[in-house]
Amino acid sequence: MTHPPTSGVVLAGGLARRMGGVDKMHIRIGGATILRRIINRLFPQCSAMIIGGKAEPERLGAIYLPAVVDSIPDRPGPLAGILAGLDGAKLVTRQIDEWMVSVPSDCPFLPRDLVAKLHEARIAAGAQLACASSGGRQHPVVGLWPAALREDLRRALTAEGVRKVGEWSARYTLAVAEWPAAPVDPFFNVNTPEDVAEAERLATLYPEA
């Protein structure tokens, strides 16, 4: 691992309304659940992994990852999951890594070089944060966050009512790391039954994606 020690958080706070309430991270794509696919890709890149957000232990089934539930009430969104990850990483690593990467729980094709490329982009730009992009479209939730901003984020959520990831990250210098969107967009996310069918098709055509 050439980049600084970086913990990882899988953001599992969505309500999956377009999936009829089905827990998206347990949908099977290419013979494995989306959560298992995420772990297989991200775990080798991270010093530790946790699940944050609406991640009660009973949701995890046989996946033995520590879960940290949002400390901010009223389902405030992925920013609260990022804060939960930053708070919970110390419990897992027994230290606070300087960096944490966040990913959503519905992306079955995450890149295996995610953490390294985010750090490379951050360093090259001299930026405080980094996020991923593919096909010219940014993915603010797929981001690299410094632990040093944890209390700033807590204040933004609790005292200022900030809810959007982009609104908060706009306060800082942000680097963008780009990935190609073909043949498979690494940040393809599963939101609908049609997305499940498309993800299954892509996993069959491109099993290494």
* Tens of pLDDT, residues 59-83: 555 566 777 776 776 667 889 889 9
- Enumerate domains of the chain plus CATH numbers: 6-205 (3.90.550.10)
Helix/strand/coil for 175: strand
pLDDT at residue 69, as a whole number? 73
CA distance 64 to 39: 11
Mean pLDDT across the chain = 88
Helix/strand/coil for 186: coil
Q: Look at residues 84, 201, 104 and name the one whose alpha carbon lies nearest to residue 150.
A: 84
Q: Is 14 left (phi over 0), alpha (psi -120 to 50) or beta?
A: beta
Q: Is 0.75 surpassed by the pTM of this model?
A: yes
Whether pLDDT at 1 is above 70: no
pLDDT at residue 93, as a whole number? 60
Over residues 127-137, mean pLDDT: 97
DSSP β-ladder status, 32-33 and 6-11: unpaired
User: Per residue in 34-57, is it b (16+ CB within 10 Å) or e — as a string?
Assistant: bbbbbbebbeebbbbbbbbbbbee
pLDDT at residue 104, as a whole number? 94
Whether pLDDT at 108 is above 70: yes
Q: Are 26 and 33 in contact (CB under 8 A)?
A: yes
Whether pLDDT at 89 is above 80: no
pLDDT at residue 64, as a whole number? 65
Over residues 134-152, mean pLDDT: 95
